[in-house]
Amino acid sequence: MKMQLGEIAKAVSAQNDTSAWNEIEISSVAFDSRHLTAGALFVPLEGERDGHEYVQNALKNGAVATLWKADHGEAPTDLPVLVVEDPLKALQALSQHYLLKINPKVVAITGSNGKTTTKDMVAAILATQFNVTKTMENFNNEIGVPVTILSMEPNTEVLVIEMGMDRPGQLDFLSRLVEPDVAIITMIGEAHIEFFGTRDKIADAKMEITHGLKEDGTFIYDGDEPLLVERAKKITQRQRTFGRSKDDDMYATAVKDTDTQTTFTANEWPDQEMNVPMIGDYNVNNALAALSVAKLYRISPQAVAKAFTNLNLTENRAEWIDGSAGERILSDVYNSNPTAVKEVMAAFSKVATHGQRRVVLGDMLELGDQADALHAGLQTAFDPQLIQDVYLVGPHMKALYTALQDKFDAAHLHLYGTDEQEKLMTQLKADLKPTDIVLIKGSHGIHLENVLAALQ
């Protein structure tokens, strides 16, 4: 981005006189004083830490101006300050102003699983023909979406935005903020069921992504999910479905998968094989959602196939990593929920190996009162003929540990507290052979990335 401070002051309704600073150039916006670039506008947010305490640090690291909350005491005088009612609301207002200024097409994506992978696929496909900006890392909430918008280069033609949620109303706000041309729901699972109670209520909340959908926009969703099919009847905009049924607008044919890639064709392009460099045929649905966008934007099947081959995926989503003992590790340590675990377990269980298949699972968070039952329910994903050793981490995994005791003996079934990762690492290192393969998956709050790092 590139904006003068005077323009920003108007966009955020600054309460003080900024005329002396109007021509100062702002080249980026940041809320972390440690990670910003020269020319940044600093946004002091209040959370566990109060960002106002870090304005001087931001100045030292290259910020040339800052927002300041009006009721937060005396503002600093050694750099330009825009006094606003609420820095977060000001950030959101600035992002909306900049979005209208650049005016790209907007593709918004949500879902209980697959939204990050789908985002990466959609962005790669559209980048074959357009200048694209996409959500980086996990910048998918009320802070991350505005920051993503403000990261756009002026020549951006399509903005691909991932939208997360953990409460009702969140997607309503984000959708109305960006007013998407295309809204995608990848699937409905049990993620965040702690806050919603039922899959029906999760579906209601996911449908909020359509609340800001432009009148001439398109809603793309999993046509094999009855909860979405039922709710889509109320949507007046154009719709396209994807899935595995011939009733879907875009469906897969001839699916084949290996430990490193999944190949398929689609009904609308039957002569073009698509090769996705990811394990698990569950990723075919994510690819079908991306193909649906490709059809809308008239991207050729050959260009789509090339984009899949060169796919640049967000880290820690089902990626193979070499361990220090020679073992292969399937790392999926960013998040976890029952649907995702079962899908990746099914794919992992089919991977050929001359050694043992070992599974490390951490607690799935935000499952509320149903947590123990949902953890225990994972036992159907374990076949002792295919999985030889199981390592479980966290208090809720005790329910799965109990459920698996009739399948695995004590030598091959292990349970650890969240504070016993060192013990787990020691046990794993002692057990591992160069021919083994290991799956590591858990919610980010369990921090199994520490276990992954110890094995690398």
Query: Is 32 within 8 Å of 62 (Cβ atoms)?
Result: no
Looking at residue 194, what is its pLDDT? 67
Query: Distance between CA atoms of 265 and 285, rounded to whole angstroms?
Result: 12
Higher pLDDT, 166 or 283: 283
Q: What would the pLDDT profile of 86-107 be if each residue is shown by its tens digit?
A: 999 999 999 999 999 999 999 9
Indicate the pLDDT class of residue 369, thresholds 50, 70 and 90.
Answer: confident
Mean pLDDT for the stretch of residues 322-333? 92
Looking at residue 166, what is its pLDDT? 85
Query: Distance between CA atoms of 342 and 323, rounded to whole angstroms?
Result: 24
CATH topology (fold) of 104-309:
UDP-N-acetylmuramoyl-L-alanine:D-glutamate ligase (3.40.1190)
Looking at residue 316, what is its pLDDT? 61
Q: What would the pLDDT profile of 134-179 be if each residue is shown by its tens digit?
A: 999 889 999 999 999 999 999 999 999 999 998 899 999 999 999 9
Binding site for ATP, residues? 111-117
Indicate the pLDDT class of residue 366, thresholds 50, 70 and 90.
Answer: confident
The reply to whether 104-309 shares the fold of 3-94 is no
Looking at residue 40, what is its pLDDT? 97
Indicate the pLDDT class of residue 70, thresholds 50, 70 and 90.
Answer: very high
Share of the chain above pLDDT 90, in %: 87
Task: Give 114-180 as a DSSP string.
Answer: SHHHHHHHHHHHHTTTS-EEE--TT--STTHHHHHHHT--TT--EEEEE---SSTTHHHHHHHHH--
Lowest-confidence region among 212-226, 308-322, 324-338, 412-426: 308-322
3-class secondary-structure state, position 319: strand
Indicate the pLDDT class of residue 345, thresholds 50, 70 and 90.
Answer: very high
Query: Distance between CA atoms of 37 and 62, rounded to whole angstroms?
Result: 6
Looking at residue 5, what is its pLDDT? 97
Q: What would the pLDDT profile of 54-66 be if each residue is shown by its tens digit?
A: 999 999 999 999 9
Strands 158-162, 132-134: pairing is parallel
Mean pLDDT for the stretch of residues 33-41? 94
Number of H helices, E strands in the chain: 16, 21
Indicate the pLDDT class of residue 335, thresholds 50, 70 and 90.
Answer: confident
3-class secondary-structure state, position 141: coil
Q: What would the pLDDT profile of 399-453 be if each residue is shown by its tens digit?
A: 999 999 999 999 999 999 999 999 999 999 999 999 999 999 999 899 999 999 9
Domain boundaries, the chain: 3-94, 104-309, 319-455
pLDDT, the chain, mean: 95
Mean pLDDT for the stretch of residues 200-207? 95
Q: What are phi and psi of 124, to 5 degrees?
A: -65, -40
Q: Is 60 exposed, middle or buried (0-12, 13-18, 19+ CB in 10 A)?
A: exposed
Looking at residue 38, what is its pLDDT? 94
Indicate the pLDDT class of residue 318, thresholds 50, 70 and 90.
Answer: confident
Superfamily of domain 319-455: Mur ligase, C-terminal domain (3.90.190.20)
Q: What are phi and psi of 187, to 5 degrees?
A: -175, 165
Q: What is the pTM of this model?
A: 0.91
Strands 218-222, 3-4: pairing is unpaired
Angle between the N-to-C axes of helices 283-296 and 115-126, in degrees from 0 to 180, rounded to the nearest 10: 40
3-class secondary-structure state, position 255: strand
CATH of 3-94, one of 3.30.950.10, 2.40.50.140, 3.40.190.10, 3.40.1390.10: 3.40.1390.10
Mean pLDDT for the stretch of residues 208-236? 98
Q: Residue 196 pLDDT more than 90?
A: no
- Residue 69: which H helix or E strand, with range? strand 63-69
Q: Residue 315 pLDDT more than 80?
A: no
Mean pLDDT for the stretch of residues 286-301? 98
DSSP secondary structure letter of residue 378: G
Binding site, residues? 111-117
